Structure 1
C-alpha cells in the first residue's frame, strides 16, 4: 500500500509549519481511492506522516461493506511501516461521514444467515466482532492517529474518532450518536470509548439516548476535540503541523507513550505503573534518550535530530 505513495511526497521536508497550500488542497481533494482500496485514499504529504482519507464523497463517505475490511488491512500495514511515524485521518467531500451505509449493509445486518436461533446469533456475533475490529485496529496501531473532522460525523463516525488519539474539527462540524434512531444500541465502540473521552457521564448518556447533535463548540468544551478550526483547509494545515511535531520526536518514545496511555486508560494506576516499568526496562536502553537529552541541553531544535526507523 504505502509503496504506492509518490516519491515527491516521500521527499517532503519536516518543515510542516511551512506546508504549501497546494499540499493541503491535494490532501483535501485527492483524485480517488488508492489501490487496492475502494474506500480509502493513502498519501504521504510529509516525511514520516501518512495521510489516510475516507474517500466516498459521492456517498457522503458512508461506510459500506468494503470499508470495514479495508480499514483493518490499511492500519495493519501502517503499524508495520517503518516510514510512518504519525497518521492523519480525514475525509473527502463535504462531510466527514454519514455513518453506516444502510443500503449496502442491510443484508449483513437485517438478514443474518443460520438454521436456527443459536446459529443466527453466532453469525451476528461474528459480524459485530468484525465491525468492532475496524476501529479497534486504530487503537492497536502504535503510531499516533490525528483525526480531522469537518461537517457531519454521524454514527459510525463517532465510533471511528473515539478510537483515534487526537481529534480536531472545523467550526461547522457536528457529531451524532445516531444508533437509537435506527432501533439499536451502538455496538462498535462509541458506548465503550466515548465515556472515557468526555468527562461527563451525564452528557454521554444524553447524547447516546437522545441522538441529538453536538456542535463544534460543545465538542471542544466537553473534551471530544482539542482544537476547532475555521475551515477544512486550516484544519488540515493544523493537523500536518501537529503531526510534524510528533514525527520529529523519537519513535521509540512516541509509540511507547501511545501504547502505555491506552493500557493505563483500561487498568488501575498500580497496573499501569507495573506495565510501564516492564516496558521501559528495555526501551530506556535506546540511543534516542541520549540524542534527545543532548539536543535539549544544547538547545538544539528536536527536528534537527535524526532518529533511526522503528
Structure 2
C-alpha cells in the first residue's frame, strides 16, 4: 500500500494538520523515485494527504513509457488506500512537465506493430486507449486531486491537469496544447475535458488550433486554474493547506461530492438529481452527519471532528 511508502514529518496544532515548513519540505524532491516507481515520487506530507510528484527533472518531467503505466498503478492504489483522503500532484525541478517524451515513445506511437492497415490500426487503438487511462484514472479516483503547476505545462501536461479536480499555479506558469505543432490531434483528454473546464468553446479552439501559450493570468481569468501563487514554495504551502481542509472533512461527504460533480458534468440536471437521490438514500445513513450536526450545535469547527476511515 502507498501508506507504507514514506511517512514524512508534519506540524500538528489542536487536531489540525497545517502546512508548516517541515510539511512543505516533505513535498519537495529531496529524494528520487522508490520502487516500484521510476518516474514518480510518492510521499505523505500531512495526515491523510498523498503527494504524487512527477520526477524526471533532468528530462523536464517528460512522460516516458514507464510514466504511462506507473500513473495508473499509483492511482489505483490511492483509490483503495483508506489512509489517503486527498491527493496533491506536482512536478520536480524547473517545470511541471514538458509533455510526452517523443524520443522514448516514438517506436510505440509512430511504428505500431501489424501486418496490414487493419491490424496496425487495431494495435494503435489499444495503445491510445491505454494512454487515455493514464489520466482517466485520476478522474475516476474518488479522492479529490489538487494539481500544483509551476513553469511549463505542455501537451500531455494539459491532458493531466484537466483530469484533476482543482488546479493551482505559480505566476510564471504557462500552458500549451502543443499537439498540432507535432502533427497530431490531442488524443488523451484535452479536447474532451478542456471545453468543460474553461466553458468557452472559442478559447478552447484558439488554444488547440494555434498551439499558442496561455500564461497564468489568462489561465486564472478563464477558469483553468482557481488560484495563482507568487512562487512554487507558496503554491505548495497553499496546496497542502487546501488538501488539509478537505482531508479534515467527512470522507463520505467529500468523496461523494466529487463523484456526483463528475456525474452531473456529463449528464442532464434531471439525471444528476436522480443519481444524487440514489446516492444519498444510503450515504445519509452515515454517522458523520450526526457528528457534524452536533459540532455545529456546539459551535465547533468541522475540522475538530474525527471521522472514521472510508
For Structure 1 versus Structure 2, the TM-score category normalised by the shorter chain is over 0.9
CA distance in 1, matches of 2:135, 2:128: 12
The answer as to whether partners of 1:88 and 1:240 remain within 8 angstroms in 2 is yes
Output the CA distance in 2 between the equivalents of 1:86 and 1:3: 13
Alpha carbons 2:96, 2:151 under 8 Å: kept: yes
CA contact (8 A) 1:151 1:170 kept: yes
Shift of 1:10: 8.2
* Deviations, residues 108-139 of structure 1 (Å, cap 9, x unaligned): 11100001000000000000000000000000
Separation of aligned partners in 1, 2:223 and 2:57: 28
> Which one is further off, 43-52 or 5-14?
5-14
Paired residue for 1:15? Answer: 16
The 8 Å contact of residues 6 and 42 in structure 2, kept in 1 or not, is answered as no
Once the two structures are TM-superposed, the CA of residue 197 in structure 1 deviates from its matched residue by 0.3
The whole-number CA distance in structure 1 between the counterparts of 2:48 and 2:116 is: 51
Q: TM-score normalized by structure 2?
A: 0.97
C-alpha separation between the residues in 2 aligned to 1:11 and 1:28?
16
Correspondence for 1:53:
53
- Structure 1 counterpart of 2:281: 281
Indicate the residue corresponding to 1:185 in structure 2.
Answer: 185
String of CA shifts for 1:226-255, please: whole Å, max 9, x gaps: 000000000000000000110111000000
Q: How far apart in 1 are the matches of 2:8 and 2:68?
A: 30
Q: What is the alpha-carbon root mean square deviation over aligned residues?
A: 1.3
CA contact (8 A) 1:9 1:47 kept: no
Give the aligned partner of residue 293 of structure 1.
293
Structure 2 CA distance for aligned equivalents of residues 5 and 167 of structure 1: 25
How far the C-alpha of 1:8 sits from its partner, in A, is 4.7
How far residue 29 of structure 1 moved from its aligned partner, in angstroms, is: 2.3
Q: Distance in 1 between matches of 2:230 and 2:81?
A: 33
Q: CA deviation at 1:221?
A: 0.1
In the aligned structure 2, how far is the partner of 1:291 from the partner of 1:195?
A: 39
Which whole-Å CA distance do the structure 2 matches of 1:25 and 1:305 have between them? 27
Q: Work out whether residues 152 and 173 of structure 2, in 8 Å CA contact, stay in contact via their aligned partners in 1.
A: yes
Structure 1-normalised TM-score? 0.97
Q: Which residue of 2 aligns with 1:112?
A: 112
For residues 51 and 270 of structure 2, the distance between their equivalents in structure 1, rounded to whole angstroms, comes to: 36
Residue 172 of structure 1 is matched in structure 2 by 172
CA shift in 2, pair 1:12/1:103, >3 Å: farther
Matched with 2:135 is 135
Question: Which residue is equivalent to 2:195?
Answer: 195
In the alignment, which residue of structure 2 is the partner of 1:258? 258
> SS in structure 1 opposite 2:90?
strand
Q: Which runs of 5+ in 2 are unaligned?
A: none
**Aligned residue-pair number:** 309
Whether contact under 8 Å (1:28, 1:91) holds in the other structure is no
Q: 2:169–2:229: 8 Å Cα contact kept in structure 1? A: yes
